[in-house]
Amino acid sequence: MVKIKLCGLHTTADIAKANQVHPDFVGLVFAPSQRQVDLKTARILTQDLDPTIAVAGVYVNASTETVMAAVTDRVLQLVQYYGALPANLIAQLHEQHVQLIQVVQTETDVDPEADYVMFDASRGRGQAPAQFQKHAVTQPEILSGGITLANVQTAVAIVKPAVVDISSGVETDSHKDLAKMQALTDLVHRL
Ligand SMILES: O=C(O)c1ccccc1N[C@@H]1O[C@H](COP(=O)(O)O)[C@@H](O)[C@H]1O
């Protein structure tokens, strides 16, 4: 079964929808974004989340100290990191039993210690690549970038990911849309 991560949840209403739909992962964006949350909000949101849904924190070029503040606060099970990895980040995450989703531009950027690999040029803008492609990586791949109900089946058939990650594709007018969240979660779980 392909798993699904619904990203960019930032309100208690979004968390209630996730509890109803039950994706495998949710993402909280700590990077600058219209969906950005701070650590205090993340604590409140994760308290209400079904504990069987894993939480990924999304960071862009953040320092190890910034990432580890949320990790040691026990709000995250995974970290999704954009940018050059700080030298000691993976070891510190693994010490805390937190997994790393490394977001890369090419296969050669992949750190062998990363737990998942993602090729995402969209960063929450709903932009799909001109062509989906299979990547030569040993880690499980997370498919991301402009995924919607219209393209998810084709994209999964080409990329063969372990997980599909969606933000804009489960929104209407910039708000998380329960019907889209449900439809995409059900569809991805059947693939
Ligand atoms: O969602 C954001 O605002 C965001 C900001 C900065 C970095 C990453 C972000 N989101 C991630 O981008 C993917 C793809 O987004 P979309 O589905 O194309 O809208 C999303 O799933 C998040 O993991």
pTM of the model: 0.96
Domain boundary assignment for the chain? 3-190
Distance 113 CA to ligand 1 centre (A): 23
| pLDDT beneath 70, residues of the chain | none
pLDDT value at residue 144: 96
3-190: CATH, from 2.120.10.30, 2.60.40.10, 2.10.60.10, 3.20.20.70: 3.20.20.70
Separation CA 59–CA 184 (nearest Å): 24
Q: Do residues 187 and 149 touch, judged by C-beta distance below 8 A?
A: yes
1: CB partners within 8 A, 6+ apart: 189, 191
Q: How far is the CA of 42 from the centre of ligand 1 (A)?
A: 17
Output the pLDDT for position 17. 98
Residue whose CA lies nearest to ligand 1 atom number 2: 124
Distance 1 CA to ligand 1 centre (A): 23
Cβ atoms of 136 and 107 within 8 Å: the answer is: yes
Residue of the nearest CA to atom 18 in ligand 1? Answer: 126
pLDDT at 191: 93
Could you give the ipTM of this predicted complex? 0.96
